[in-house]
Structure 1
Amino acid sequence: MALIDRVKEVSKKNGYSLTDVAIKAGIGEKSIYAWTKREPTVATLQKVADVLHVSTDYLLGRTDDMNYSSISENKQIDLKDALNDEIMLAFDGRDIPETDKIKIREYIELLDLKRRSEHE
């Protein structure tokens, strides 16, 4: 299956048009349509894969495993560490600004404090 066909298939499963995917990925609205004539850059392909929650290998037809996450089911991510680190966090394909990270961190700390006080 060609790259464009895989992108169309996964986009449809996610309820997105190719234009929706392009906008969420931060690329030109008609960029994906141009992939019938030319290959996307690695960076652009990765952005689209991130939006669709699949691997670039899946989109390129190198695997039939759509597995996006390199995080195993048993691995735990500490949100406090993730929010404090210089990791690029995103929600629905858009970067989370630093001011929002601070608010998220404060809200989680409030929930944790509440949970601890209920168990004392």
Structure 2
Amino acid sequence: MTLFDRTKEIIKKRGMSVSEVERKAGLSENYLYTWKKSDNPRKKSIESVAKVLGVSVDYLLGKEEKATNKDYDGEVEEALNSARMYQGKPISDAQRETIKGIVKAYLDAQDKDK
């Protein structure tokens, strides 16, 4: 599987679009499609895409077989920070930890199913 194929596959698993990943990674429009023909994409670009997708560079390059959600911790925290209230009441620290655990378990299960 090529770098582009692996990238496109994980984009689909994450429910994202190629253009969304390009935008979040700070890449130009249609940049990822150049990976179809390029044998040597920029390392910084691969790192940026891996970060957006929550996988390692080694996974994108085919050196690891399993994609992990380890980089989603920051995104989960960010989402919890934006959801400070529920039904007009602040979310407690205990509720935050419960929600974080549920989200992580869901993401881990999603990777195992694919």
TM interval, short-chain normalised: 0.5 to 0.7
* Aligned residue number for residue 56 of structure 1: 57
* Aligned residue number for residue 30 of structure 1: 30
CA separation in 2, counterparts of 1:29 and 1:58? 23
Give, in angstroms, the shift of residue 67 of structure 1.
2.5
Residue-pair matches, total? 80
CA separation in 1, counterparts of 2:75 and 2:62? 26
Q: CA RMSD in A?
A: 2.8
Sequence identity of aligned pairs in percent?
38
* Aligned residue number for residue 10 of structure 1: 10
Give, in angstroms, the shift of residue 22 of structure 1.
0.4
TM-score, normalisation: structure 1: 0.56
CA separation in 2, counterparts of 1:67 and 1:16? 16
Q: Unaligned stretches of 5+ in structure 2?
A: 85-89, 94-114
Aligned partner letter, 2:24 = K
Structure with the higher helix share, 1 or 2: 2
Write out aligned runs for 1:1-120 (5 A). Answer: 1-38=1-38, 39-67=40-68, 69=70
TM-score, normalisation: structure 2: 0.59
CA separation in 2, counterparts of 1:20 and 1:40? 19
Rg comparison, structure with higher value? 1
